[in-house]
Structure 1
């Protein structure tokens, strides 16, 4: 309840434009009751962001485990997780992307390390695909970053009322990623 209220208010007003009172009101609590659960607004943001990245990392690792050894299958699994995760809670994932700057140390550094671990999973799959001759990009690191950014950015514009479903977007983004890599 508090997390959902926090995401909603911070998505509307940003982290710095949101007060503890705003969160408490949205959650139907008093500020004192909110402080019973969280020591500060910073702790609320850190909790939101850490839950998000931890969930994404776990889902990504599981998808890779199930994908087998084919670089194409592994990349497709990565893109599927990345797109679906960012469409599952668009406000929450946009908040997680835009408010990294508001996280304080040491949480910020730990969170960045986790984001880098997520990126490395893409980097490694793409590098393996290039080494094995399945992917033909001369710039694998840049392609990897572009695929992650594109797959994350879908949260900023996708509408469930639009012409494509979430699953159709996954298929389209998988195709875009494979095309970007010159997959054979």
Structure 2
């Protein structure tokens, strides 16, 4: 579906609830019916896409709700059905970008039916797919960090820390189970998260790379970087290699004891 056809579809679906909210189409004093979930998701997604583009081009201060309504192809009153102000729209956009992956990760971990290796693979897949399908939204969020209101900055920081903590805990579980190498789990989590987030800058949905292939390859790379060999092997020969392996295990034991 082209951008123009998406806007046409969004306009038709957005104007129906807005018209009822203005009193048009009401029958016998019935309360206006709320838009269906599918309709609302379609219009909100188009609203996020157009707002992201305009904020990136003109800046937050230089973009009005009328500009966003015009970009979608609906009236401003119709847009008010979905969002009441530009600040509310920004808050919705930040929440959608930050809390979306976190909610999925928490649901994944709560399932409890995957080992740490499978959990880490699924985590990478969740984050990479979001960055590959919504790159502009994430880039806008990163570039606009300094301009976010204090309450949004706080919520954003909390969400980032929660995502990092979730990944680190999965890696630590894998280390304790002997599945991952004895590394600093937080540093490893930062590396995995950085690899996933960077996709938003180099991946182009209409480019040479396929989102599914990219997702699978990055998941394989994350696992390969951390997974321990089936048997304890020395990195080299002689006593120095043996001491290096022992130091790794001792460093890991020391971190556990400190925590």
Query: Same fold by TM-score, threshold 0.5 exceeded?
Result: yes
Q: Deviations over 1:128-159 (max 9, x none)?
A: 11222211152321110111111011021112
Report the CA distance shift for 1:17/1:179 in structure 2 as closer, same or farther (over 3 A).
farther
Out of 170, 176, 179, which is 1:131 matched to? Answer: 176
Q: Deviations over 1:28-63 (max 9, x none)?
A: 456677567545433221110112222212222233
Q: Decide which structure has the larger Cα Rg and report it.
A: 2
Report the CA distance shift for 1:164/1:33 in structure 2 as closer, same or farther (over 3 A).
closer
Alignment partners' CA distance in 2, 1:25 and 1:55: 27
Is 1:6 the counterpart of 2:51? The answer is yes
Computed over aligned residues only, the root mean square deviation of the Cα atoms, in angstroms, reads 2.5
Cα distance, 1:69 vs structure 2 = 3.8
Give yes or no for contact 1:53–1:114 (8 Å, CA) kept in 2: yes
Q: Partner residue of 1:94?
A: 139
Alignment partners' CA distance in 1, 2:96 and 2:205: 24
* Secondary structure of 1:106's aligned partner: helix
Alignment of 1:152-171 (within 5 A): 152-171=197-216
- Give the total of aligned pairs: 184
Q: Partner residue of 1:58?
A: 103
Alignment partners' CA distance in 2, 1:44 and 1:26: 15
Q: Partner residue of 1:113?
A: 158
Give the gaps of 5 or more residues in structure 2: 1-42, 230-259
Alignment partners' CA distance in 2, 1:127 and 1:179: 16
Q: Deviations over 1:88-116 (max 9, x none)?
A: 22212222333232211222212211221
Q: Please report the TM-score for the alignment, with normalisation by the length of structure 2.
A: 0.62
| More RCO (CA 8 Å, sep 6+) | 1
* Secondary structure of 2:180's aligned partner: coil
